Amino acid sequence: MTYINPIIQVLFLVGVGWILARASLVKQHIPMLSSLIMYVLVPAVVFRSVYQSPMQPEDCLLFYFSLFSVYLCTLLLSFLLGKLFGFRGTALRMVCICSPYSNNGAAGYTIIHAFLGEAYSSIAAVSSAFGNVLINLTAPLLVKVKQETSLLQTLRELLRMPVLYALLLGFLLKGLGVELPSLLMTPIDQLASAAFPLCLLLIGIQMQGQRIRGDCFSMLLPACIKLLLMPLIAAFLVKCVLPLPEKYDLVVFLLAAMPPAATMVAIVSNCGMVSEADAVASATCFTTIISLLTIPLMLYLSSVLF
């Protein structure tokens, strides 16, 4: 039952955030916390993951392309199913935001390391960098899909994302073989380590006062897409379409089976979309709880398929 440990840790930190907001200690600081996560902590995570990865650049690119393909197919399916079931506005954006993004970091890495060992978890660790870049570059566009934004404005927004430069800098220093002194790496490590727990606290803060309530189906649909359909999409792509090396295909499948990324709430909050942030916080917590049941199923399925 090792897989339960990271899920319990996630729910514990979400609960701490909820208690802090309930006591009226931190809710007024949501914009500041969101900006701190977006512009400082997540770039540190991305840089560290890329810079310290043992993978070769060509392997990283193939792995990233596979993850992006799974993301794109799941996003399209989320949009189509949302439309089919009559979702509109905030509800439709919530489905599209919560379904295709996985918690590749604490949940994905920890579970893969516990069950498959270092040979597989070292691959999963690199996915955290790509996942954070993908989320930070695409999620704001999904949130603002109803706003009239020109292509030039969109490109300007992307170029303002520090996570993009963290990724490029990590690849550059790694490719050149530059070894950073501990004087620099130690604070980067400290910032990166603070990212995930602060994201979970923010989820709990956002959830306080709105509960997991309302139309249960509006949260059940993204949970089913994220925890059941997305892994099946990943299995089909890596088994039938994408020529992935051994180990990589299994990691892609298991990462797709993880609960939603915790950074989603920070990103949506940072965009100033209050209603979307509240909906995403509830859906993320709901899906994380449901994943306690689906993750063992996907672990068993991985032993059959791979």
- pLDDT tens digits for 33-86? 877 877 888 788 878 877 887 777 677 788 889 999 999 999 999 999 999 988
Tokens 């379409």 label which residue?
241
pTM, two decimals, is: 0.72
The token pair that represents 186 in the structure block: 């130690």
> Mind listing the domains of the chain with CATH numbers?
32-305 (1.20.1530.20)
Q: 256 pLDDT band (50/70/90 cuts)?
A: very high
CA distance 77 to 190: 38
- 210 pLDDT band, cuts 50/70/90, is low
Q: Which residue has the higher pLDDT, 184 or 155?
A: 184
User: Does residue 148 surpass a pLDDT of 50?
Assistant: no
- Any idea which of 218-227, 232-241, 286-295 has the lowest mean pLDDT? 286-295
Are 102 and 131 spatial neighbours (Cβ–Cβ below 8 Å)? yes
Residue for token digits 């706003």?
A: 147
Alpha-carbon distance of 173 to 50, in angstroms, equals: 9
From residue 118, give the alpha-carbon distance in Å to each of 130, 191, 205, 217, 242: 19, 24, 34, 38, 24
Share of the chain above pLDDT 70, in %: 80
Nearest to 66 by CA among 146, 142, 168, 134: 134
Cβ neighbours of residue 152 closer than 8 Å, sequence gap 6 or more: none
- Which is more confidently placed, 138 or 295? 295
Give helix 89-98 / helix 216-224 axis angle, nearest 10°: 30
Question: What tens digit of pLDDT does each residue of 158-201 get?
Answer: 677 787 788 889 888 988 888 999 999 999 999 988 877 887 78
